[in-house]
């Protein structure tokens, strides 16, 4: 039988095989099977399986960058953008977690609630803002017309979704807040703390007077402290790395160009009719000040303006490292009104910054091939070492750098990064070691433990010393005399304060003072920086029954706000800890 004949006889079987194969392909494509084979995710990440899409991530980043540009009116650095991207990501993760928690708790908004938010007696703030008359009432006719207009149908869908989300979030906040109610006792106690005062006298014995010889710690004591307090020395995942850097500094040419720009500004300024508007349009680094000042109060750097005629503009002069123009606007009776226009000298983004970036790229290329240290030595570059901790963008030696931290989190050991642009430098890093989270080894925290143990011994030694002196004296004055110290005083000390004038931050001592009766002298009390013996001369305790309704409401609102802010962050942190969060940003964005 020929081949063609066999194919004709097998046509039915072949068709079924093809149909089955295409069905399998459709299913695999639908579940992103091929994306999984290539290892390339198609979304920015997921929170407990719920996807964070590229679109919503990009929208959130765009929102933050646009707001930054409007508020700062300055060029955004790569490091700033990285921080805003991280903020956008954190917001989206927190939002997903909150939405999931609301679903779990069954928190929802009914259609009836939504209608009340739009057309009810007390509509949502957005509706009130759009349709409120001058007398504070709602223009119901205009509102209904806007609802009925066919061209507004798409807009109303968006508004309704926003109102529904806001109401749902409000319910969630109420749920969280329900467990943090501020009691009447809380309000009364806070009122008393705010309005109770005392006059005290005290003798202070600083811990620093205990010598190092008295508090020497043995190796056994230090190791025992780590055994007894392991939680004090927990660390997150840590990255040890080395790096070379190229500082972004303006060159002499950059300075000359900025001075030349200001000389051109001077010619235009002479023609300006509105100085304030001229400053805004030409983006002066120093703001326009349109008020008179005493001539004696003019800074030395600006005093050349005194020699100008009214309306005259100075030549370019350097003040605090930047070029300035000064203009005398007006003068009267020993006062002067003047303006200082300036530009900040920055590295030229094309000439200077691009040249440094090229140097960094060149180093990274050859270091990846020849070796990091070898290439650094060949170029006579200074190599620095540093450590970074997961979740903490502050890196000793580099400062705040979210970009560097994200890079380190996704590098393998000995890998060399591409150049990273920070606010003031370019860096190329090589990851040396990723240290997993856990209790830090004794050798690494020895000095820290020694400081803690010695400090504890110092406190104990001073406390024992003061107890002996206190037992030998019958009054505060006698204690001061035999210890060769002076009796200090603090008047009108508020119960809710943290600072004792002349003694520093001592909340525990202040609290103890209000537990004493007038004329009563305390036993030795351990403070933050010293041991105290104190006496209360006068004490004026507030009567909570005299609290007005306005004061009660204000205190309650403050306490509720404090509790909510503190608990809400802890609530989000706990949700994150219990969640499965997948971050695909580096793969999707090709970082």
Give the DSSP letter string of 150-207. GGGHHHHHHHHHHHHHHHHHHHHHHHHHHTTPPPHHHHHHHHHHHH-EEEEEEEEEEG
Name the pLDDT band for 220 (thresholds 50, 70, 90).
very high
Name the pLDDT band for 148 (thresholds 50, 70, 90).
confident
The pLDDT of residue 283: 87
Tokens 């990723």 found at: 434
**Does the pLDDT of residue 10 top 80, yes or no?**
no
The pLDDT of residue 20: 47
**Does the pLDDT of residue 340 top 60, yes or no?**
yes
**Interior CA angle at 438 toward 437 and 439, to 5°?**
140
What token pair was written down for 472?
A: 């030998």
In 338-494, where does DSSP find H-type helix?
352-370, 372-378, 402-409, 442-471, 476-482
For the ranges 22-36, 409-423, 508-522, the lowest mean pLDDT is seen at 22-36
The pLDDT of residue 94: 86
Which CATH architecture group holds 197-230+444-541? Roll (3.10)
Name the pLDDT band for 179 (thresholds 50, 70, 90).
low
Cβ–Cβ contacts within 10 Å for residue 371, how many? 15
Which three-class secondary structure string do you get for 37-81?
A: HHCCCCCCEEECCEEECHHHHHHHHHHHHHHHHHHHCCCCCHHHH
The pLDDT of residue 26: 44
CA distance 140 to 155: 18
pLDDT digits (tens, 9 = 90+) for 314-335: 999 999 889 999 999 999 988 9
The pLDDT of residue 591: 58
Percent of the chain with pLDDT over 90: 46
Which sign, positive or negative, has the C-alpha torsion 40, 42, 45, 49? Answer: negative
Nearest Cα to 305, choosing from 284, 319, 320? 319
The pLDDT of residue 23: 46
* Range with the largest mean pLDDT of 128-132, 224-228, 580-584: 224-228
Name the pLDDT band for 27 (thresholds 50, 70, 90).
very low
The pLDDT of residue 565: 75
**Does the pLDDT of residue 12 top 70, yes or no?**
no
**Does the pLDDT of residue 584 top 90, yes or no?**
no
**Residue 69 CA: distances (Å) to CA of 65, 276, 277, 422:** 6, 21, 20, 18
pLDDT digits (tens, 9 = 90+) for 266-307: 989 988 889 889 988 888 988 888 889 898 889 899 999 999
**Does the pLDDT of residue 102 top 80, yes or no?**
yes
The pLDDT of residue 40: 63
pLDDT digits (tens, 9 = 90+) for 533-571: 999 999 999 999 999 999 999 999 888 888 877 777 777
CA distance 470 to 479: 6
> How crowded is the C-beta side of 341, counted as CA atoms within 13 Å?
31
**Does the pLDDT of residue 19 top 60, yes or no?**
no
The pLDDT of residue 178: 64
Name the pLDDT band for 82 (thresholds 50, 70, 90).
confident
CA distance 432 to 240: 6
For the ranges 84-88, 341-345, 573-577, the lowest mean pLDDT is seen at 573-577
CA distance 480 to 345: 59
Which CATH topology does 237-249+349-436 take?
Chitinase A; domain 3 (3.10.50)
Q: What is the mean pLDDT of residues 441-455?
A: 92
Q: Which residue has the higher pLDDT, 162 or 40?
A: 162
The pLDDT of residue 108: 82
**Does the pLDDT of residue 343 top 70, yes or no?**
yes
Whether 341 contacts 270, CB under 8 Å? no
The mean of the pLDDT values for the chain is 86
The pLDDT of residue 17: 43
Tokens 């300035």 found at: 324
CA distance 459 to 453: 10
Whether 311 contacts 266, CB under 8 Å? no
Q: What is the mean pLDDT of residues 463-471?
A: 94
Percent of the chain with pLDDT over 70: 92
Which three-class secondary structure string do you get for 478-530?
A: HHHHHCCCCCEEEEEEECCCCEECCCEECHHHHHHHCCCCCCCECCCEECCCE
The pLDDT of residue 64: 84
Q: What is the mean pLDDT of residues 453-477?
A: 94
Q: Which residue has the higher pLDDT, 403 or 4?
A: 403
Whether 174 contacts 568, CB under 8 Å? no
As to burial, measured by CB atoms within 10 angstroms (0-12 exposed, 13-18 middle, 19+ buried), residue 96 is buried
**Does the pLDDT of residue 22 top 80, yes or no?**
no
For the ranges 16-20, 147-151, 279-283, 389-393, the lowest mean pLDDT is seen at 16-20
The pLDDT of residue 31: 44
Q: What is the mean pLDDT of residues 14-21?
A: 43
pLDDT digits (tens, 9 = 90+) for 350-393: 888 889 999 999 999 999 999 999 999 999 999 999 999 988 88
3-state secondary structure at position 194: helix
**Does the pLDDT of residue 29 top 50, yes or no?**
no
**Does the pLDDT of residue 500 top 90, yes or no?**
yes
**Does the pLDDT of residue 32 top 60, yes or no?**
no
pLDDT digits (tens, 9 = 90+) for 221-237: 999 999 999 989 988 89
Q: What is the mean pLDDT of residues 182-191?
A: 90
pLDDT digits (tens, 9 = 90+) for 35-68: 444 456 778 889 898 889 888 888 888 888 888 8
């Amino acid at each position: 039988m020929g081949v063609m004949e066999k194919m004709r006889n097998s046509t039915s079987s072949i068709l079924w095989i093809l149909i089955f194969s295409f069905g399998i392909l459709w299913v695999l494509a639908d579940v992103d099977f091929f994306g999984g084979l290539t290892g390339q995710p198609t979304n920015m990440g997921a929170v407990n399986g719920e996807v964070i899409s590229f679109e919503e991530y990009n929208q959130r980043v765009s929102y933050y960058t646009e707001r930054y540009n409007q508020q700062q009116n300055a060029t955004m650095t790569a490091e700033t953008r990285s921080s805003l991207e991280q903020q956008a990501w954190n917001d989206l993760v927190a939002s997903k977690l909150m939405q999931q928690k609301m679903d779990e708790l069954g928190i929802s908004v009914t259609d009836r609630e939504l209608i009340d938010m739009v057309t009810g007696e007390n509509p949502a703030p957005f509706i009130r803002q759009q349709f409120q008359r001058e007398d504070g009432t709602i223009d119901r006719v205009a509102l209904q017309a806007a609802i009925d207009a066919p061209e507004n149908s798409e807009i109303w869908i968006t508004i309704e979704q926003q109102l529904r989300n806001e109401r749902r979030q409000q319910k969630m906040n109420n749920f969280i807040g329900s467990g943090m109610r501020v009691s009447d006792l809380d309000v009364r106690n806070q009122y008393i703390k705010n309005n109770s005062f005392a006059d005290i006298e005290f003798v202070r014995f600083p811990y620093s007077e205990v010598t190092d010889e008295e508090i020497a710690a043995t190796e056994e004591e230090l190791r025992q402290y780590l055994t007894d307090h392991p939680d004090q020395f927990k660390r997150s995942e840590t990255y040890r790395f080395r790096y070379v850097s190229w500082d972004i500094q303006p060159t002499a040419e950059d300075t000359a160009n900025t001075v030349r720009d200001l000389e051109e500004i001077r010619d235009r300024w002479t023609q300006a009719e509105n100085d304030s508007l001229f400053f805004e349009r030409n983006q002066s680094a120093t703001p326009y000040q349109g008020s008179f000042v005493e001539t004696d109060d003019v800074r030395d750097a600006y005093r050349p303006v005194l020699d100008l005629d009214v309306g005259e503009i100075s030549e370019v002069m350097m003040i605090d490292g930047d070029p300035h123009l000064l203009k005398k606007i007006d003068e009267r009776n020993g006062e002067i009104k003047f303006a200082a226009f300036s530009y900040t000298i920055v590295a030229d983004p094309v000439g200077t910054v691009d040249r440094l970036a090229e140097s960094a790229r060149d180093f990274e290329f050859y270091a990846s091939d020849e070796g990091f240290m070898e290439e650094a030595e060949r170029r006579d570059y200074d190599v620095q070492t540093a450590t970074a901790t997961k979740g903490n963008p502050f890196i000793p030696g580099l400062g705040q750098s979210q970009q560097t931290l994200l890079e380190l989190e996704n590098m393998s050991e000995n890998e060399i990064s591409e150049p990273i642009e920070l606010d003031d430098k370019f860096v190329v890093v090589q990851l040396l070691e990723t240290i997993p989270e856990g209790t830090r080894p004794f050798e690494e925290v020895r000095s820290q433990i020694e400081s803690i143990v010695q400090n504890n011994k110092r406190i104990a030694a001073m406390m024992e010393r003061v107890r002996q002196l206190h037992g030998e004296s019958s009054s505060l004055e006698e204690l001061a005399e035999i210890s060769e110290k002076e009796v200090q005083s603090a008047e009108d000390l508020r119960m809710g304060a943290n600072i004792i004038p002349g003694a520093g931050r001592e909340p525990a001592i202040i609290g103890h003072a209000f537990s004493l009766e007038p004329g009563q002298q305390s036993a030795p009390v351990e403070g933050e920086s010293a041991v105290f013996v104190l006496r209360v001369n006068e004490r004026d305790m507030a009567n909570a029954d005299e609290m007005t309704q306005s004061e009660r409401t204000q205190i309650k609102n403050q306490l509720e706000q404090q509790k909510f802010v503190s608990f809400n962050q802890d609530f989000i942190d706990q949700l994150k800890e219990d969640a499965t969060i997948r971050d695909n940003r580096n793969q999707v964005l090709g970082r």
